[in-house]
Structure 1
Amino acid sequence: MPTPPSSRRVLAIWCARLSIDRWRLAHGLAEGEGADAAPLALISETAHGPRITAANAAGLAAGAQAGMMLADARTLCPQLAVAPADPAGDLAFIEALAVWAQRWGPWSAIDRPDGVIVDVTGVAHLFGGEAHLLADAQAIFARRRLSVRLAIAPTAGAAWALAHHGPPRALLHPEDDPAQRLAELPIAALRLDDDTITLLRRLGLKRLGDLHGIHRDALVRRFRNRRSAAANPLIRMDQLLGRVPEPMLPVLAIEAPLVQRRLMEPIRHRELLERVVADLAADMVRLLEAKSLGARRLELGMWKVDGEVVGRRLEVAAPTRDAAHIAGLFGRKLEDVDAGFGIELVRLRASWTEPLALAQRDFEAAAENHGTSLAACIDRLTVRLGADAVRRPVPRASHLPERAQTWEEPLGPEKTAQTEFEFHARPLKLLDRPEPIGVIYQTPDGLPRTFRWRDASHEVVRVEGPERIAPEWWRERSTTRLRDYYRIEDQEGRRYWVYRNGLAGDGRGGMPEWFLQGMWG
């Protein structure tokens, strides 16, 4: 049974200066030391120019603010230094932090973009109480020189509100009244979007306590069309007070299978390296078999004596646990490896795995048929020709011929929604792009009689059509013209697929144009 909201305890961790802290730690600086003592801003490129995403304490004091254009900030602080922001690195850090934070609770969730939520229900006694748990977390982050704000409350919404707008280390006891305790927090503590916060402030609702003095029906009428929680203060208030549940997506730690060999003597010859890779492949297969997994992507790392690391990556068409197949594929990728003074450590990691059930196999039949499967053939072609050279065409739901096909990985899952889309007769060969032709016809809307293509004239003896294809209005401009396709045959028996682009007097251009797009035979 789910834990009642009144007995749940949630820890909110807010990395208040995540981007700046990561930049400072990457440069080995203490807070307010060296380059961090001067005004600094992290910027990201936008369509209108560089925009500030974060600033250090000196930059904030000089007037730089997150969301400000760099040009505007430079007018306030000409000496402002800049560095590129790293949002992908920030997200990776939060993901790793969410897993590491499970030292305080059984599960955690990411609170984008700079926070983590941890369920600490029933675990506070292990730390000597919730106050000691907060002190432990505060001390650990301080040792790592990270600026964080912490809070524990009965709900994730209340913990978030206290972490962002309360004291640096806040604790809302189970016996406290959340509505009364949080009444003085600003309206932004409800995790609403900027437009909703601006609207509430214009209505004179600036604190959470202001919402308690308004009849609920009035707020329901005002926000009844807003289904998103971030745009509806009623939903956010109910979540904060525990009246409605707030689903959280827990973070699951997945360890990639990894095997390695630390060699007693560095090796320099390829034959020895291939033998080590074969041993690692056998170890990897045993590890994958124990977990009922198959490898789709494998990464091989080789550490040289001089400290250089050489890496090779391999992707297979289907999940595999065939050690000989894996070793054979990697063997072709080792041809250009320069061992230098020798390789002393080799590591194999399966960074992408998929479920692969155990199966009883006939060992003699497997030995006879080894390497003859379609997946094995595709893997060998991919290693020889490159990943982008081996693809399969699949139909796509589009009336336009040039969009009716796309390319996917060779053994990817079939998409039934695409294959159910039926077309009229299509030629076996389509040109890379339609080529313009000159056509003689009786009337602007009539059948073609003669056409000229690639400096040669062709007399039309048979015509089938037209097949009219309207523009895809959801992705094209309103001025795009419709097409009338014809299957035609010239005096020598060659058959072509041509179309007229537009109609005379359709108001979307001049006279219609003719193009040749494909041919039969």
Structure 2
Amino acid sequence: MSLWLAALAMDRHRLAHDSESDGKPLVLITHTAHGPRIEAVSRAGGEAGARVGMMLSDARALCPQILTAPYDPAGDRALLEQLAVWALRWGPWTALDPPDGLLVDVTEVPHLFGGEARLMADVAACFARRGLGIRAALAPTAGAAWALSHFGRAGAILDTGESIVSRLADLPVAALRLDDEVASVLKRLGIKHIGQLAGVEEGIDGKNSGRDALQRRFRNRRSPAANPLVRLDQLLGRIPEPLLPVVPVDLPLVQRRLMEPIRHRSLLDRIVADLAEDMARELEGRGEGARRLELGFWRVDGVVTVRRLELAAPTREAAHISRLFNGKLDDIDAGFGIEMVRLRASWSEPLALAQGDFEAAAERHGTSLAACIDRLTARLGEGAVTRPVPFASHLPERAQRWQRPLAPEPASQETFDFHSRPLKMLEKPEKIAVLYATPDGYPQRFRWRGTVHDVARVEGPERIAPEWWRERGSTRLRDYYRIEDRQGRRYWIYRCGLIGDGRGSDAAGAAPDWFLQGLCA
């Protein structure tokens, strides 16, 4: 079932302002580099000549008394998400169809309402009680239901045994949810309706010659909205159309509405400690621990300040939470007073009850590893505390990655340790200039960072081939050498490519490049 709220923005504005502008021409505008542009139009505004996409100056030339209000796409999206959860009364799951539609799975549901017609009547009545205009349609596929709700008769029902092509043949190709550019291309080809597209796809001799021609024309279009054949197959149910269902999540939330606004830090710390204890009890009841917390402060003048905290491991220790937030409240401006404080866990993970152990005892004394990492993260920033972990790659610069300190290592990663590696690896291999190379292939003298080094000892080579599954076939081989100069300094260098290997961007026979990648002990 497709639900199209064509006037979602105007309906939300009307309900929020108690219909103060009913009967008057009203438009919702957004500011652009060329001036205010109209994003939504009321019925009276449409009768006065205003259109979506028109500049406000052009609309006022037609109707000088037109009213304006700011366009709020974020508010419309929030309302649409609320309606998606509310629409679960008609099906097991719903999906967003932005910017102003919903899709509801009603498979094996209509008989619970007394049939498909009564189901559609119930949908229309429920939305009418909420003051929202809607166009709904039922069809075997999401694409067919969308086409009927947007371009067909309101309340249309397409039976399972009815031919989709014959029912939708007279609808324009825009009903396939195509981009405007693709729809224009089809119109230039003389394909204006879905029936014409289906006829061209079948071909004159029934050998899909027309489909092959369309496939060649749109073969580089990866998005479904840019490929009419993909949209047609989804409309007819030939290929599946993945949809992302809306899953309602009840986030743990605790708050304090204060009888009198507060301005002093000591009182604020006490309230934060009380909220941390309330959050600990809420999380314990759910069997969860918080990974991300958001602490919001509402001032009497309407200003809202939010402080966020991300933890290294799930926790519901009230003292630990309040101690971390204490370091983030120094710059809070209470203004004329704070009247409400709210604490929400926007990310939580299962955390079962466990017997106290040494780690818990250490955390009470402030020496826990997780507590230490949380303190460092709160003081230095979210991305300042990481640790290296092995990664399955035989290329030295890809043999490790950085992740959160206490995040588990991937179980499937196996390290390659055929040879020992230098203790210090450069962030990126640096190119060196080889002044003289021996007949065996290694350099006898090279320049790095403006200094010339004479090679005294050499060990190698160790050949490393490129990752054929990730890089192109023209990537050159590497030969690594451990060298020592006459001052006793040791380096790890490699030659990229061989003379005459025919690889790389240079022509065959070009000299290979040399790089320094590590410093040996």
Common topology (TM > 0.5)? yes
Please name the residue that 1:289 is paired with. Answer: 284
Provide Cα deviations, 1:23-69, integer angstroms capped at 9, x if missing partner. Answer: 999999969967739xx7887x9xxx9xx997869999999998xxx
Indicate whether 1:14 and 2:1 are aligned.
no
Offset at residue 309 of structure 1 (A): 2.3
| 3-state SS in 2 of match to 1:348 | strand
Report matched runs for 1:58-457 at 5 Å. 94-102=80-88, 104-112=90-98, 114-119=100-105, 121-122=109-110, 124=113, 129-130=118-119, 132-137=121-126, 139-140=128-129, 143=131, 148-153=134-139, 156-167=142-153, 169-172=154-157, 177=162, 179=164, 181-186=167-172, 189=175, 206-208=193-195, 218=206, 231-232=229-230, 235-236=233-234, 238-239=236-237, 249-356=244-351, 358-362=352-356, 366-367=360-361, 369-370=363-364, 371-422=366-417, 424-443=419-438, 446-457=441-452
Work out whether residues 428 and 520 of structure 1, in 8 Å CA contact, stay in contact via their aligned partners in 2: yes
Provide Cα deviations, 1:376-423, integer angstroms capped at 9, x if missing partner. Answer: 221111112111110112334555433443322222232245444556
Offset at residue 328 of structure 1 (A): 1.3
Please say which of residues 24-33 and 481-490 is displaced more in the overlay.
24-33
Letter in 2 for 1:288: L
CA distance in 2, matches of 1:132, 1:157: 22
Residues 344, 112 of structure 1: alpha-carbon distance in 2 compared, 3 angstrom cutoff = closer
CA distance in 2, matches of 1:360, 1:13: 48
What TM-score do you get using the length of structure 1 for normalisation? 0.73
Work out whether residues 234 and 240 of structure 2, in 8 Å CA contact, stay in contact via their aligned partners in 1: no
Residues 112, 399 of structure 1: alpha-carbon distance in 2 compared, 3 angstrom cutoff = farther
Please name the residue that 2:485 is paired with. Answer: 490
Residues 513, 232 of structure 1: alpha-carbon distance in 2 compared, 3 angstrom cutoff = closer
Offset at residue 354 of structure 1 (A): 1.6
Please name the residue that 2:506 is paired with. Answer: 508
Offset at residue 315 of structure 1 (A): 0.3
Please name the residue that 1:3 is paired with. Answer: none
Residues 383, 461 of structure 1: alpha-carbon distance in 2 compared, 3 angstrom cutoff = same
Provide Cα deviations, 1:219-278, integer angstroms capped at 9, x if missing partner. Answer: 778769999897357743543xxx998775432211211001122333333233222212
Letter in 2 for 1:165: F
| 3-state SS in 2 of match to 1:287 | helix
CA distance in 1, matches of 2:367, 2:197: 73
| 3-state SS in 2 of match to 1:498 | strand
Letter in 1 for 2:381: G
Work out whether residues 299 and 340 of structure 2, in 8 Å CA contact, stay in contact via their aligned partners in 1: yes
2:461 to 434, 459, 466: 466
CA distance in 1, matches of 2:323, 2:349: 21
CA distance in 2, matches of 1:231, 1:159: 18
Residues 26, 137 of structure 1: alpha-carbon distance in 2 compared, 3 angstrom cutoff = closer
Offset at residue 294 of structure 1 (A): 1.4
Letter in 1 for 2:146: W
Work out whether residues 437 and 515 of structure 1, in 8 Å CA contact, stay in contact via their aligned partners in 2: yes
Over the aligned positions, Cα root-mean-square deviation in angstroms equals 5.1
Work out whether residues 202 and 209 of structure 2, in 8 Å CA contact, stay in contact via their aligned partners in 1: no
Provide Cα deviations, 1:131-180, integer angstroms capped at 9, x if missing partner. Answer: 53243255357x35xx643224465444322102112x223276994656
Provide Cα deviations, 1:440-479, integer angstroms capped at 9, x if missing partner. Answer: 4344772222334445443322212223445567777888
Alignment gaps of 5+ in structure 1:
1-9
Letter in 2 for 1:359: L
CA distance in 2, matches of 1:305, 1:188: 50
Letter in 1 for 2:124: A
| 3-state SS in 2 of match to 1:36 | strand
CA distance in 1, matches of 2:436, 2:232: 68
Work out whether residues 174 and 183 of structure 2, in 8 Å CA contact, stay in contact via their aligned partners in 1: no
Letter in 1 for 2:155: A
| 3-state SS in 1 of match to 2:383 | helix
| 3-state SS in 2 of match to 1:274 | helix
Residues 55, 264 of structure 1: alpha-carbon distance in 2 compared, 3 angstrom cutoff = closer
Indicate whether 1:36 and 2:27 are aligned.
yes
Work out whether residues 41 and 59 of structure 1, in 8 Å CA contact, stay in contact via their aligned partners in 2: no
Alignment gaps of 5+ in structure 2:
63-68
CA distance in 1, matches of 2:405, 2:24: 54
CA distance in 1, matches of 2:100, 2:271: 43
Letter in 2 for 1:133: D
Letter in 1 for 2:291: R
Work out whether residues 158 and 178 of structure 1, in 8 Å CA contact, stay in contact via their aligned partners in 2: no
CA distance in 1, matches of 2:280, 2:75: 32
Please say which of residues 24-33 and 458-467 is displaced more in the overlay.
24-33
Residues 222, 95 of structure 1: alpha-carbon distance in 2 compared, 3 angstrom cutoff = farther
Please name the residue that 2:65 is paired with. Answer: none
Work out whether residues 444 and 504 of structure 1, in 8 Å CA contact, stay in contact via their aligned partners in 2: no
Letter in 2 for 1:516: L
Offset at residue 197 of structure 1 (A): 10
Offset at residue 118 of structure 1 (A): 2.4
| 3-state SS in 1 of match to 2:272 | helix
Provide Cα deviations, 1:67-105, integer angstroms capped at 9, x if missing partner. Answer: xxx9xx99x99x99xx99988776555433312333555
CA distance in 1, matches of 2:493, 2:71: 52
| 3-state SS in 2 of match to 1:132 | helix
Please name the residue that 2:517 is paired with. Answer: 517
What TM-score do you get using the length of structure 2 for normalisation? 0.73
CA distance in 2, matches of 1:445, 1:102: 74
| 3-state SS in 1 of match to 2:256 | strand
Please say which of residues 324-333 and 367-376 is displaced more in the overlay.
367-376
CA distance in 1, matches of 2:234, 2:492: 60
Give the percent of matched residue pairs that are identical in Structure 1 and Structure 2.
54
Work out whether residues 465 and 478 of structure 2, in 8 Å CA contact, stay in contact via their aligned partners in 1: yes
CA distance in 2, matches of 1:85, 1:469: 58
Provide Cα deviations, 1:274-299, integer angstroms capped at 9, x if missing partner. Answer: 22212111111111122222111000
| 3-state SS in 1 of match to 2:146 | helix
Provide Cα deviations, 1:294-352, integer angstroms capped at 9, x if missing partner. Answer: 11100011223343322211000111111121111112212332334433221100011
